[in-house]
């Protein structure tokens, strides 16, 4: 019978393993959470899988029982050596790499694979953006993130949590929440709760503008959240407010609205409307 996550972690801690605070390490020790992550990912044995930040390998052990091809990406060299020792009898390749520099095509070529990870809080957004930029090589992701970040990923227009991250994620994937995870599910326990989010990679329906131009409008609109679109876009695009209000009127979007109330479709409409006013857009 395989050791429980808690017993396995305790054994490794007694043998000298430590959480590296500088790398945001908190080790998952709850078997129920591990099982739900694996189940939600809906993996077949043929699915190539990469795990980001395996830590002591409690989730890695479960994944290795499920799939034939598994890579674990770990930045902490001490954990790499530990994982190679503890998981030596399992089909998993442990790589000492920075996930922010990883191209998943190096792992499984032109196929589509799946990403799973307990993402360090301090680089969650950069990691998500890095891998969503590789969406053509991924069928989906199941990630553990800070609960507040999960709320932003899942947020809809009109909510306080809705913002640039919400739009960036939802433009490339359909997010759903798997479960909330209390701090007590980790050792050491972080100061905040977490959540597991599943991202089904897909193209946003009917999206037809250049992403660079789209995000210039989005970032400009959110640059000063409390201000209205007329003011934020005037400053961001370096256009007279009267010109901005005129363009907005043509689209039917009120200049008195705030960025957090606009849908992705409305931001696309604004991108198209301002294309002739913004150099390099279109």
pLDDT digits (tens, 9 = 90+) for 115-138: 999 998 889 999 999 999 999 999
171/269 same-domain check: no
Residue 72 and residue 83 in contact, taking contact as beta carbons nearer than 8 Å: yes
In a domain, 109, yes or no: yes
CATH number at residue 234: 1.10.8.100
Q: Is 50 helix (H, G, I), strand (E, B) or coil?
A: strand
The answer, yes or no, to whether residue 280 has pLDDT greater than 70, is: no
103/154 same-domain check: yes
Q: Please report the pLDDT score of residue 282 as a whole number.
A: 39
31/147 same-domain check: yes
127/223 same-domain check: no
In a domain, 280, yes or no: no
Q: At which of 166, 201, 236 does a domain end?
A: 201
| Interior/surface letters 132-146, b for 16+ CB within 10 angstroms, e for the rest | bebbebbbbbbbbbb
CATH number at residue 30: 3.40.50.150
**Other Cβ atoms within 10 Å of 32 Cβ, number:** 11
* Confidence band for 277, pLDDT divided at 50, 70 and 90: confident
Q: At which of 201, 236, 253 does a domain end?
A: 201
In a domain, 282, yes or no: no
189/242 same-domain check: no
Range of the domain at 19: 5-201
Question: What's this model's pTM, rounded to 2 decimal places?
Answer: 0.91
If you ran DSSP here, which 8-state letter would residue 255 be given? Answer: T
The answer, yes or no, to whether residue 279 has pLDDT greater than 70, is: no
120/234 same-domain check: no
Q: Is 196 helix (H, G, I), strand (E, B) or coil?
A: strand
pLDDT digits (tens, 9 = 90+) for 159-194: 999 999 999 999 999 999 999 999 999 988 889 999
Q: At which of 201, 225, 248 does a domain end?
A: 201
88/144 same-domain check: yes
Burial class, 205, CB count within 10 angstroms (exposed 0-12 / middle 13-18 / buried 19+): exposed
Q: Which two tokens stand for residue 175?
A: 């997010």
232/122 same-domain check: no
241/144 same-domain check: no
Q: Is 93 helix (H, G, I), strand (E, B) or coil?
A: strand
36/69 same-domain check: yes
Q: How many domains does the chain have?
A: 2
182/256 same-domain check: no
228/197 same-domain check: no
In a domain, 206, yes or no: no
In a domain, 121, yes or no: yes
- Average pLDDT on 35-53 reads 97
- Average pLDDT on 54-72 reads 96
């Amino acid at each position: 019978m395989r050791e429980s996550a808690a017993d396995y972690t305790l054994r490794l801690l007694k043998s000298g393993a430590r959480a590296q605070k500088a790398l945001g390490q908190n080790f998952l020790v709850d078997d129920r959470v591990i099982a739900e992550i694996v189940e939600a990912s809906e993996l077949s044995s043929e699915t190539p899988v990469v795990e980001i930040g395996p830590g002591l390998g409690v989730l890695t052990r479960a994944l290795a029982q499920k799939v034939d091809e598994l890579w674990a990406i770990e930045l902490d060299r001490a954990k790499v050596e530990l994982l190679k020792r503890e998981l030596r009898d399992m089909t998993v390749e442990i790589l000492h790499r920075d996930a922010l520099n990883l191209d998943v095509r190096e792992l499984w070529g032109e196929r589509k694979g799946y990403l799973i990870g307990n993402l360090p809080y301090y680089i969650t957004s950069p990691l998500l953006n890095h891998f969503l930029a590789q969406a053509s090589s991924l069928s989906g992701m199941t990630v553990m993130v800070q609960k507040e970040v999960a709320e932003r990923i899942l947020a809809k227009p009109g909510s306080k949590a809705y913002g640039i991250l919400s739009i960036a994620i939802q433009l490339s994937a359909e997010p759903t929440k798997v479960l909330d995870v209390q701090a007590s599910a980790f050792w050491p326990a972080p100061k905040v709760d977490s959540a597991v989010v599943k991202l089904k990679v897909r193209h946003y329906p009917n999206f037809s503008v250049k992403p660079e131009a789209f995000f210039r409008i989005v970032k400009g609109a959110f640059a000063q959240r409390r201000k209205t679109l007329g003011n934020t876009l005037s400053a961001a695009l370096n256009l007279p407010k009267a010109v901005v209000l005129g363009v907005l009127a043509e689209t039917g979007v009120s200049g008195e609205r705030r960025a957090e109330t606009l849908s992705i479709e409305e931001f696309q409409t604004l991108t198209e409307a301002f294309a002739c006013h913004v150099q390099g857009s279109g």
